[in-house]
Structure 1
Amino acid sequence: MKFVAVTSCPTGIAHTYMAAEALEQAGKAAGHEVQVETQGSAGSTPLDPAIIEAADGVIFAADLEVRDKERFAGKPTIDVGVKKAVHDAPGVLNQAIAAVEAGVSTPAATAGGGSKDPATKIDRNASVGTRIRQYLMTGVSYMIPFVAAGGILIALSFMLGGYEVKFVPVDDVINSFDVMSRMSWAALMFQTGAVAFGFLVAVLSGFIAFAIADRPGLVPGFVGGSISVAVGAGFLGGLVSGFVAGFLALWISHWKVPKGVRGIMPVVVIPLLSTFVTGLLMFVVLGRPLASLMDGLSDWLSGLSGSNLILLGLILGAMMGIDLGGPINKVAYTFAVTGLSTAGLTDGATQFRVMATVMGAGMVAPLAMALATTVRKRLFTRQERENGKAAWLLGLSFISEGAIPFAAADPLRVLGASVVGSSVTGGLIMAFDASQRAPHGGIWVIALVDNWLLFLLAVAIGTVISAVLVIIFKGLGSNPALEAEQAADAAAAASAPSTAAQPTA
């Protein structure tokens, strides 16, 4: 059979492309053809209409709404989450085969999807906890590009012009920019990065509200996030304002109004009322308590030292290694980048150490699996050894999801080893006083890491510990997937025709 697929994840980075590769490999192994369109953060190249026309079925492995969905109208279609495709691509393929054999086109395939609006995908039938996580992840997914752009620009400005660059007035950049001056370029990078950082809370709040109420939530969400910054409530205020604005807009959009008013509801009434009430709540009721809470959190973080900082590093490292890009991992990463965004314009030494801790610990799991598959190949299947080659690059690039294929096949042993190694790396980075001003990039932004040799040493130590533990754990227990592969190889060898010379007549 021939299948086409679309993959996407909230951040549009790792899971999008891992799901695509997993589906392609599963199709090849089963004798089917799977061609995938990845709708990631880098954009996408649409599938050729002729390929779609020739396809027997369609697979949507997406956590965001698929763009231009109407292209697949009339085809038997299944719609699963992106993690399902990463963890169980053969099962997803079997589900798609069953849909083709049933010959029924699903509503998802015929619904219009040509809107160019921002994308989100919320399961309205899911539990309250799941929906809250989906709302949060929508906000975080749209915030991360601002974090990366602003954080790396500010970090580069410090590397180019020193930390005094933050004291260069913006008027000097506007009126006295000198193309031949290193300090002018540094000041330009710093001011541009600072502007990008200025959007973070508003974007987070706006897209949380958008996930809840769709487009009516955008205006009150963005305004609420901006108010959070103005009153000093920061990211905590942005989270609260996003939910407040979203549920307000959703409630107002469900009002029963006369026909004559319906036309102006989305343009005037909903944004006007929801924005005003959000502003009232954030300025008068919620702003001051949230600002006090943020100040307390910042003071606590800045006051940590010695063993307390090492303990924080151990905890953050374990969080980065426990679910490899899942909710717990994202909580630790968001904690780091939100601290970095406030510290980027101040001294914030502790926040920079937190960012280094999270980045270093997040590199350990994929690097450990790459090392383990290199050192003890016989403990891993052929597919795992191939995944191990890719995991080198993913780990060096701070993409923890590179270890997911291994964790999906053997969660207890892989995640157990990952938590230990990542935790050790987190504690060592804190102990070594390494700090990082860029929110992403891994080895490629090593020039922006203070005490970078000790940072690399901490990552190497954690990687070796995790790799050794994986090898030990694999050696102690059974590995059904490997045993099945070895049995199949033995059967194939036994049934192969003999190459010995046969006597002639």
Structure 2
Amino acid sequence: MKLVAVTSCPTGIAHTYMAAEALEQAGKAAGHDVQVETQGAAGSTPLDPAVVAAADGVIYAADLEVKDKGRFAGKPFVDVGVKKAVHDAPGVIAAAVAAVEAGVPASAGPAPAAPATKVDRDAGAGTKVRQWLMTGVSYMIPFVAAGGILIALSFMLAQLAWGGAEGAIEVTGVDATTVVAAFDPLSLQHWAVILLKTGQLSFGFLVPVLSGFIAYAIADRPGLVPGFVGGAAAGFVGAGFLGGLVTGFLAGFVALWISRWNVPKGVRGIMPVVVIPLLSSAIVGITMLVLIGRPIASAMTGLTNWLNGLSGANLVLMGVILGAMMGFDLGGPINKVAYTFAVTGLATEGLQPGAVQYQVMAAVMAAGMVAPLALALATTVRKQLFTHAEQENGKAAWLLGVSFISEGAIPFAAADPWRIILSSVVGSSVTGALTMAFGSTLVAPHGGLWVLPLIGNPLGFVAAVAIGTVVTALLVVVLKTFKHDPLVAADRAADDQALAAQAA
């Protein structure tokens, strides 16, 4: 059969492309032609209309709403989450084939005009909350990434401009308004200030974007305006990302409630343009500014003071906990909680170079790199413990690991959950603790070793990653050595048969 597929995940980075590769390989193994359109963070190249027209069926392996879904109208389809395609691509292909054979047409409609999200309306409350949160986080991350890297570059340039490590602190005390008014393109100090301010402006969108797109996930387009207004109000009173979370949910439910009012026909035309944004923004803004803003701001201040007060063994313990969370579900909800905690900490106002929040970010990223690197190492040193497919995945895991894409270890965890997850948690915990102990810092929220010049104490960071990688790989090898794996045994038998045939 000829099948087409669309893959997408909330962040548009790892699962999107892993699912595409898995579907293509599974389709080829089953004798089908599968062509995939990846709708990721880097955009997408639409499938050729001729390919779509010739397709027998469609696979939607997406956690976001598929763009231009109307192209596939009338074709049999299956609709699964992106992780299902990563973990069980052959099963997804089989389901698509069954849908084609059953001849069930798709009911695809026009693409949404607003930014894409996907929330399963039939899911449980916990799943919906996670999907709403991940929608906000997925749109927030690019702002944090851009702002974080600009600030890191500013600190690096400031050290050159002021002639020492204290330059990274000096630049934070310069009045950007004065520099903008009398900008000198030949001054390194001025460039450092401009980069710092640009990065801070990017960070300034973090809370409104988080709030706005949580509200959008709940109420669709009516939630955007009150969500952004609520996020801005949270930033104004100092409620930070906690305030953004609250206003995102509040705005979403208020906008959803108002949009369901049964109003006269004459009023319906102005509801989405005037009534809903006016009333919902007023309710959310007043609630944040007058009622709940101060208590949440106090909680944020307490959290910041607590973080800044951590030192020594307490920091190492936090590294252990965050590392374990990063290594537990490899890009899943627990992993994302730790990552979101680190990312939102970067946006805390008034941070100085070397702040605890930057240490937290370094520990989280280092720990998130361990699992894929460890599996890549294990498949290299003890190939006989892994299937041919796992050995190939191990080769790809080297690049995924150094790029801080924890999901590179998912195919291994799906095949052997408890051994891989146990090993990953132990090694990632070690790395998180060591990163804290070494005092490494990081302003950029992503990038892995590609942003090594932006890392404080890079040698300590690399050492922590290397040690955790070796610990995890060693545990994987030891645990798998005492396990009889029928798939590995079948691979070995096939190798023996092939060698015997060559000898004959």
TM range (shorter): over 0.9
CA contact (8 A) 1:194 1:345 kept: no
Matching residue of 1:158:
155
> How many residues are aligned here?
495
**Superposed CA RMSD:** 1.5
Cα deviations across residues 224-265 of structure 1 (Å, max 9, x unaligned)?
000001101100000000000100000000011111111111
Offset of residue 180 of structure 1: 2.1
Unaligned runs of 5+ in 1: 501-505
CA shift digits 1:127-184 (9 cap, x unpaired): 0000000000000000000010000100110011131222232224422222222222
Q: Which residue does 1:503 correspond to in 2?
A: none
Alpha-carbon offset, residue 106 of structure 1: 2.6
The 5-angstrom pairing of residues 426-441 of structure 1 reads: 426-441=432-447
Counterpart AA for 1:90: P
Taking a change above 3 Å as real, the CA distance of residues 173 and 49 of structure 1, as seen in their structure-2 partners, is farther
Report the equivalent of 2:113: 116
Q: Distance in 2 between matches of 1:269 and 1:348?
A: 47
Structure-to-structure mapping, 1:304-453, within 5 angstroms = 304-342=310-348, 345-346=351-352, 349-453=355-459
**Counterpart position of 2:176:** 170
The 3-state SS of whatever aligns with 2:347 is: helix
| Structure 1 position 8, deviation (Å) | 0.1
User: What is the aligned counterpart of 1:461 among 462, 467, 470?
Assistant: 467
Listed one character per residue, the Cα deviations across residues 467-487 of structure 1 (whole Å, up to 9, x for unaligned) are 000011111112232223334
Residues 1:89 and 2:83 are matched in the alignment: no
Unaligned runs of 5+ in 2: 159-166
The two structures have a TM-score, normalised by structure 2, of 0.96
Equivalent-residue separation in structure 2 for 1:343 and 1:269 (angstroms): 35
Q: Which residue of 2 aligns with 1:129?
A: 126
Matches of 2:30 and 2:184, distance apart in 1: 62
Instruction: Flag the 1:405–1:344 CA change in 2: closer, same or farther, 3 A.
Output: farther
| More divergent stretch after superposition (15-24 vs 175-184) | 175-184
CA distance in 2, matches of 1:71, 1:374: 44
State the secondary structure of the residue aligned to 1:439: coil
Q: Are residues 1:285 and 2:291 paired? A: yes
Contact in 1 for aligned 2:72/2:106 (Cα 8 Å): no
Letter matched to residue 455 of structure 1: F
Matched position secondary structure for 1:106? coil
Distance 1:95 1:493, change over 3 A: farther
Q: CA deviation at 1:392?
A: 0.7
- Corresponding residue of 2:15: 15
Is residue 69 of structure 2 the alignment partner of residue 63 of structure 1? no
Partner in structure 1 of residue 194 of structure 2: 188
TM norm structure 1 = 0.96
Superposed CA deviations along residues 174-226 of structure 1, whole A, max 9, x for unmatched, are 22222222222222211111100000000000000000000000000000000
One-letter code aligned to 1:395: G
Match of 2:253 in 1: 247
Q: Of the candidates 227, 233, 251, which is equivalent to residue 233 of structure 2? A: 227
Tell whether the 8 Å contact from 1:151 to 1:344 is kept in structure 2 after alignment. Answer: no
Name the CA distance, whole Å, in 2 between partners of 1:347 and 1:294.
20
